[in-house]
Amino acid sequence: MASGVKCSEEVMVLYNEMRLVKNDSNHQERIRLVVFEVKGSFIEPTTVLRQKDLNDEENVYKVFLAQMPKGKCRYLLYDCHYTTQDSPKEELVLVMWTPETSTCKEKMIYASSKQYIKHAIGGAKHTMEFNDESDYEINAFAKELGKDISKIEGHAFASKN
């Protein structure tokens, strides 16, 4: 079932800016997180956080989680930095946040529009769906990213693999 909702042009512009990080670019201007909302017949960005916006934050993962409003659906594109046994990694994660407390109509709109944002953001390494807090608990999130993850955003955690 298609919703008729399309991605605004700004979705692609922001995705390409996140994907094509140039070595000579200003690291502080790098986009780390974008929140998208369905507004009318378009998926549009509502929040853009750059590295400079996160410098004073103790835990960027918690900032990411804070962008998921209670009772409201959203899409999030997150430039997640994590460490495995092998090396540090930076990968794009597309998340569809559809909390149980949101309306049935809103959940259906986001679910049926997901194909459009996935197509627009075709290079996101990981796609996840969160419906409640257990979905984004740090161990569950790390498991979705892959094996042998020891740190997310520079913070070690006790893996339950």
pLDDT in tens, 77-102: 999 999 988 889 999 999 999 999 99
Measured CA to CA, the distance from residue 96 to residue 18 in angstroms comes to: 18
Q: What are phi and psi of 35, to 5 degrees?
A: -105, 130
The pLDDT tens digits of the residues spanning 119-142 come to 888 878 899 999 988 888 888 899
39 domain-assigned? yes
95 domain-assigned? yes
22 domain-assigned? yes
Q: What is the pTM of this model?
A: 0.90
44 domain-assigned? yes
- Count how many domains the chain has: 1
Which pairing describes strands 6-7 and 42-50: parallel, antiparallel, or unpaired?
parallel
161 domain-assigned? no
Kindly state the average pLDDT of the residues 6-35. 86
139 domain-assigned? yes
Res. 3: pLDDT tops 90: no
Measured CA to CA, the distance from residue 98 to residue 75 in angstroms comes to: 9
Identify the pLDDT of residue 19. Answer: 85
Domain of 63 in residue numbering reads as 6-156
Identify the pLDDT of residue 158. Answer: 64
**Better-predicted residue by pLDDT, 74 or 135:** 74
Looking at residue 108, which CATH number applies to its domain?
3.40.20.10
Identify the pLDDT of residue 1. Answer: 46
1 domain-assigned? no
Kindly provide the b/e burial profile for residues 120-141, where b requires at least 16 CB atoms within 10 angstroms of the residue's own CB: bbeebeeebebeeeeebebeeb
The pLDDT tens digits of the residues spanning 34-44 come to 999 999 999 99
97 domain-assigned? yes
